[in-house]
Amino acid sequence: MDKKLVVALVILFFVILAGAVLLAWPTPIKNGNDFVEPPFISANVTVSSPAPDSTVPSSFTLIGRARGNWYFEASFPVEVQDANGNVVGQGLATAEGEWMTTEFVPFSAPVTIENYSGPATLVLIKDNPSGLPEHDDSVSFPITVQ
């Protein structure tokens, strides 16, 4: 085979490979609420703000979406736990749309942390009015409190 043809084929291969990587790379997308989707994703909850491992002030607003079955009366609890699992802050996520669905529903939650700074865990807790353990669920990720 001609040397120029081999070089051209190798270059073409790398261009196609680079294009495939760029197409497969996840791209943040703005949604109708003007926030970027999402740094934290689970099967039932996505959180747009704050991002995992981010630093937050002692008062912040949690923004995201949760499936309708996570809500009871359009809300579910949120906790901030210190490194030992003690609750140092809390909030109540409130649905910003029709929550009686199995689809994702936007929420926001003002969260207040008192007398604590350092590593913490943000815990979103499925509201379970029945109290039955088989209906319990939560998602969590690390944050740092200023």
Task: Return the domain boundaries, the chain.
Answer: 40-145
What is the distance, to the nearest Å, from the Cα of residue 104 to the centroid of all Cα atoms in its chain? 12
- Is residue 65 a contact partner of residue 96, using CB atoms and an 8 Å limit? no
Structure confidence by residue, pLDDT tens digits, 18-47? 766 666 555 554 545 554 445 788 899 999
User: Could you say which of 3.40.720.10, 2.60.40.10, 1.10.3720.10, 3.30.70.100 is the CATH number of the domain covering 40-145?
Assistant: 2.60.40.10
Counting DSSP H helices and E strands in the chain, the numbers are 1, 9
Please tell me the least confidently modeled range out of 3-7, 38-42, 53-57, 59-63.
38-42
Average pLDDT, the chain: 88
